[in-house]
Amino acid sequence: MLTIEQVLEVLAESLPLPETTYQMGEQAPLLGAIPELDSMTITGIIAGLEKNFDIVFDDEDLDAGAFQTVGTLCDLIASKMENSP
* Stated pTM of the model: 0.89
Strand ranges, E, within the chain: none
Place domain 4-83 in its CATH homologous superfamily: ACP-like (1.10.1200.10)
List, in order, residues 6 or more apart from 61 with CB less than 8 Å away.
Answer: 76, 80
Percentage helix, strand, coil, to 5, in the chain? 60, 0, 40
12-69: pLDDT as tens digits: 988 877 677 888 899 999 999 888 889 999 999 999 999 999 999 999 999 999 999 9
35-50: pLDDT as tens digits: 888 999 999 999 999 9
The crossing angle, in degrees rounded to 10, of helices 4-14 and 39-53 is 140
pLDDT score, position 26: 94
The H or E element containing residue 83 is: helix 70-83
Domain boundaries, the chain: 4-83
